[in-house]
Structure 1
């Protein structure tokens, strides 16, 4: 019973804050304009500051696990190739193929992943997850672009490769993560004033991110091909964390790092999949359905994953 209660104290607070965002939107206390600005604030300021601060003030050589980074990148790559190959075999239309594939492997690491890991493993887990996120965000973006471009190869109207290279290279999460990694790697001192300022400013990030997820949640986005959406959701929040558990364990990863790898692999589909589907001729309705369905069901799958991890002493 105590284990069950421990799982609830990890998962329920995260989803209660998501529910708070949904409730505030329904009550009219926040609106679409507020959510748009909040998402921009979190994405361009809050999360970059959080990643830089947590990574930059950590001991890089203590918290960096190269095998975890490689294993987690492999999970993403396998998710891409498996989902895209399945879409080709089933002869999905180009737009549906891209959205199905992207929704099957692109997880919401920064918003949901960091929040769950923080609740499960505290500040040390958040630091390790932040370093992992810094290396995985470029991998996710690369395969996401590939998933959406490949179905339309040879067609006119796609943005050039250089545009998407810039999108990856100038991504604020990537820039902040690698700035933090460099700061930590070279053991640069963090001035007290800057340290305390970042400590205050970064406290807003995860709550605002979760409120933004809840405020953006809409059952109206659950439309289109629900069978495809359900299958992609199953890949993202069931099969990838299972694959991650076996792959990472086989690579010799144990303890907290194994738990972090599994939890990050099991994140629901990122909201960015819906945005990118709009930009790159994907099936936006399918992408939106995958995001909503995977976010809703991840409360259950996270509970099961955490129960399994805690049962194993992780």
Structure 2
């Protein structure tokens, strides 16, 4: 296969995902969707359709292939290493009041929507099932580390570990993963009509979620404050995906597993980071800028990264 053919194949994988993001941006600008729609649709995706998609993907998966403890351990170590590296950099180069927001924006990716959508396009059922299992680890680690770094720089705030643990246990995606694994392991077969109805419902997830991501991007916010946001965004979209993916390759990961980890490492900053910053009284404008910048950059960096991995025969 020539480089041109590989590049066109890569575009077929990544462009549908980012096209939906930009369509969402356009629909919001012309007024066809509004804040109320975004809030309702995002809640529907988070609470119902995405957990359904993850559940169905896992129960259809070959757990011997999709469940890889080595991949989970490596991803956790890479996340902790990324978190420590960015925090160390921020300690020397970022104003104290913005450090927590900077660090969270640089390591917390939108794996549940963008990462999973790209994995599904690139690897089909394996991408969804293995990505769904990995997503359980991502939710736990990202939430805990985000609270740690944000509270560290917000006067008067303290870590309520009991509440964090409670929120994680109530997370619909965590519940979906925990419910699906025993069903898959025991080879329990659900009625055909249940699976078909579930597929209809789950199929709403990715287009609806990607439209909402695009609709929340504010180009005006990007123009208002760029230096600190750009630094965090470059960490998120260029430096950390490069370092983590190279480390995964050196550790022996190849093929779909390496590609899956790259897509999760290279996902733009999660929209949930803005909600957490606002709740803790941080610089929510900076958080919004980082989300917007990384979302726009992702269409270039993810496409280029997948192209490089495919050209080298690694993913």
Coarse TM-score class (shorter-chain normalised): over 0.9
Bigger drift between 20-29 and 155-164 goes to 155-164
Superposition deviation, residue 92 in structure 1: 2.2
Total equivalences in the alignment: 311
Q: Which string of whole-angstrom CA distances, capped at 9 and with x for unpartnered residues, describes residues 232-259 of structure 1? A: 1111111121122222122221211111
Query: Is contact 1:55–1:177 with CA below 8 Å preserved after alignment?
Result: yes
- 1:44 corresponding residue in structure 2: 47
Corresponding residue to 1:97 among 99, 111, 121: 99
Provide structure 1 residue ranges, at least 5 long, that are not aligned to the other structure. Answer: none
Indicate the residue corresponding to 1:143 in structure 2. 145
Q: What is residue 243 of structure 1 aligned with on the other side?
A: 243
* 1:224 CA displacement: 5.7
Alignment of 1:130-279 (within 5 A): 130-152=132-154, 155-158=155-158, 160-222=160-222, 225-279=225-279
Task: Tell me whether 1:11 sits opposite 2:14 in the alignment.
Answer: yes
SS in 1 for 2:140: helix
Whether the aligned pair in 2 keeps the contact of 1:52 and 1:179 (CA below 8 Å) is: yes
1:85 equivalent in alignment to 2:85: no
- Report the counterpart of residue 56 of structure 2 in structure 1: 53
Decide whether the 8 Å contact of 2:58 with 2:128 is kept in 1. no
Q: 1:25 aligns with which of 15, 28, 39?
A: 28
Q: What TM-score do you get using the length of structure 2 for normalisation? A: 0.94
Partner SS state of residue 244, structure 1: helix
Matched residue SS, 2:61 = coil
Tell me how far apart the structure 1 counterparts of residues 139 and 188 of structure 2 sit (CA, whole Å). 24
The SS at the match of 1:222 is: helix
Matched, 1:124 2:151: no
Question: In the alignment, is the contact (CA less than 8 A) between 2:148 and 2:159 conserved in 1?
Answer: no
Indicate conservation of the 8 Å contact 1:69/1:136, yes or no.
Answer: no
Q: CA deviation at 1:293?
A: 0.3
Residue equivalent to 1:284: 284
> Which has the larger displacement, 268-277 or 85-94?
85-94
* TM-score normalised by L of structure 1: 0.94
State the superposition RMSD in angstroms: 1.6
Cα distance in 1 for residues equivalent to 2:52 and 2:192: 16
CA offset digits 1:34-78 (Å, max 9, x no partner): 111011011111111111111122121221111111111122111
- 2:224 and 2:84 map into 1 onto residues whose CA distance is 24
Deviations 1:111-162, CA, capped at 9 Å, x for gaps:
110111112222222222122112221111111111111223xx43546332
Instruction: Report how far residue 190 of structure 1 moved.
Output: 2.3
- Asked whether the 8 Å contact 2:151–2:157 carries over to 1, the reply is no
Distance 2:206 2:117 in 1: 6
Structure 2 stretches of 5 or more lacking a match? Answer: none
Runs of 4+ in 1 over 4 A off after TM superposition: none
1:300 alignment partner in structure 2: 300
Is the CA contact (8 Å cut-off) linking 1:103 and 1:290 kept in structure 2?
yes
- Structure 2 SS opposite 1:281: coil
Contact 1:98–1:151 (8 Å) recurs in 2 = yes
CA deviation after TM superposition for structure 1 residue 306, in Å: 0.8
| Contact kept? 1:57, 1:190, Cα under 8 Å | no
Q: Distance in 2 between matches of 1:199 and 1:13?
A: 20
Are the counterparts in 2 of residues 223 and 286 from structure 1 also a CA contact under 8 Å? no
Contact kept, 8 Å, 1:56 with 1:180, in 2: the verdict is yes
